[in-house]
Amino acid sequence: MNIHEYQAKQLFLEYGIPVPDGKPTSASENAAEIAKLLGGESWVVKAQVHAGGRGKVGGVKLTKNSAETVSLSKAMLGTRLVTQQTDAAGLPVNQVLIEKTYPIERELYLSLLVDRTSERMVFIASAAGGMDIETVAHETPEQIQSVKINPITGLQGYQCRLVAYSLGLKGQQHKALEKIMQGMVGLMLEKDASQIEINPLIVTDKGELMALDAKINFDDNALALHPDIMAFKDPSQEDDRENIAQQFGLNYITLEGNIGCMVNGAGLAMATMDLVKLKGGKPANFLDVGGGTNVEKVCEAFKLILSDHNVKAVLVNIFGGIVKCDVIAQGILAAIQEVHVTIPVVVRLEGTNVEEGRVLLSNTGLNLYAADDLAHAAEQVVALAGESA
């Protein structure tokens, strides 16, 4: 799960990581008052969306006039921000963060993530902050310093000094960086974050370090342990279909193709998508309806798939292990009728009572094709999607 910058900065404060003074608002008319309360001589208005790259597309605006924060906020609130990291529709801006600005001497990069290969938390640091770190890693890998943390010994002082030297920090800044790095490790471990990114981490004209931006990802599987983090959830920043799927216990991810896939079991769903690709088609989604599926879930799954207007044909691939194939077939028929599916649906069933299931699905008068093997089913759905496109 992602959270907003202002929420991440609240967590940073709890863990002793310095951030600019600021306050979020959803009402532009409050902006000037907030700016005055913050004090200082210049302010920044930042669109709060679950994506980076805001600076390049007008989602971060500076002003020396506190009254102007109102018009800047007004221009952002209620719009959708499209950045390099969003899709073409962008994300809705429902809140802006008003912050006091600080003269920037240097912009650095610092993140903490999980390196699955070495099974360690790893710090990534670079003096080339404020930029796209993937580009830095690609073009000038020598500008990136990484430090792996041994889970037994934890973060060591020498590791912080190594990072501090590589960032060109001096004197008191070493201690300040160590405190920030320790805060990041504490936050990651205690709140089950999977990634914490500060880009940029700035050095102010007074030589102080401060997190000017903040991005945190959390491990969805640990959220049940952290009601405080769960409270940060903002469904407006997430895919509508994925939100609905969650309510019905369906595992759904939107993709860009035109073949809707409905499968029980994540592994089978992956294999099905691979096969569709192999046969020259493009899946419109990943959808795992779960092991013990029922008519209601199959109906909801059809509704989800059909709400994507790119979908030209559907492939249902269900293995009847816990649920019998004839029960599934009845569910599919009920769902197709209830949801008024008109595009072609190819169904491949396998498992207990498969014969009874196939009989139910044949000669229905519906746009329904019962396939007996998976490779054939995939070929058929690719051909049908091509015809109806």
Residues marked as catalytic: 109, 197
Taking the complex as a whole, the smallest distance from the CB of residue 180 to ligand GDP amounts, in Å, to 16
Rounded-to-integer distance, Cα 29 and Cα 26, Å: 9
Strands of the 43-47 sheet, one edge to the other: 22-25, 96-100, 43-47, 60-63
Using CB under 5 A, which residues numbered 173 to 202 contact Mn ion?
199
- Which of the listed partners (ligand GDP, Mn ion, none) does 22 bind, with a CB threshold of 5 to 8 Å by partner kind? none
Taking the complex as a whole, the smallest distance from the CB of residue 72 to Mn ion amounts, in Å, to 18
> Total binding residues for Mn ion by CB under 5 A?
2
The distance between the two most distant Cα atoms of the chain, rounded to a whole number of Å, is 81
Using CB under 6 A, which residues numbered 133 to 192 contact ligand GDP?
none
Bond prior to 200 in cis (omega within 30° of 0)? yes
Query: Should residue 126 be labelled a site residue for Mn ion when binding is judged by CB under 5 A?
Result: no
The neighbour count for residue 269, using CB atoms within 10 Å, is: 22
* Residue nearest ligand GDP by beta-carbon distance: 55
Rounded-to-integer distance, Cα 260 and Cα 239, Å: 17
Query: Should residue 213 be labelled a site residue for Mn ion when binding is judged by CB under 5 A?
Result: yes
At position 106, the amino acid (one-letter code) is R
Query: Should residue 53 be labelled a site residue for ligand GDP when binding is judged by CB under 6 A?
Result: yes
Using CB under 6 A, which residues numbered 122 to 141 contact ligand GDP?
130
**Alpha helices, DSSP H only, in the chain?**
5-14, 31-38, 68-76, 133-139, 157-166, 172-191, 227-230, 240-247, 266-278, 295-306, 325-339, 354-361, 374-388
Q: Which is nearer to ligand GDP, 105 or 256 (CB)?
A: 105
Taking the complex as a whole, the smallest distance from the CB of residue 261 to ligand GDP amounts, in Å, to 34
Taking residues 287 to 306 in sequence order and writing x for each that binds ligand GDP by CB under 6 A, - otherwise, the string is --------------------
What b-and-e string marks burial along 275-285, b requiring 16 or more CB atoms within 10 Å of the CB?
bbeebebebbb
Helix (H, G, I), strand (E, B) or coil at 207: coil
Stretch that binds ligand GDP, among 46-54, 120-128, 277-285, 343-351 (CB under 6 A): 46-54
- Which of the listed partners (Mn ion, ligand GDP, none) does 60 bind, with a CB threshold of 5 to 8 Å by partner kind? ligand GDP
Taking the complex as a whole, the smallest distance from the CB of residue 177 to ligand GDP amounts, in Å, to 19
Rounded-to-integer distance, Cα 279 and Cα 382, Å: 7
Beta bridge partners of 217: 2, 195
Where does residue 192 fall: left (phi above 0), alpha (psi -120 to 50 degrees), or beta otherwise? Answer: left
Rounded-to-integer distance, Cα 207 and Cα 348, Å: 65
Taking the complex as a whole, the smallest distance from the CB of residue 134 to ligand GDP amounts, in Å, to 13
Taking the complex as a whole, the smallest distance from the CB of residue 228 to ligand GDP amounts, in Å, to 24
Query: Should residue 5 be labelled a site residue for Mn ion when binding is judged by CB under 5 A?
Result: no
Query: Should residue 55 be labelled a site residue for ligand GDP when binding is judged by CB under 6 A?
Result: yes
Contact residues for ligand GDP (CB under 6 A)?
20, 44, 52-55, 60, 62, 99, 101, 104, 107, 130, 199-200, 212-213
Q: Which residues bind Mn ion (CB under 5 A)?
A: 199, 213
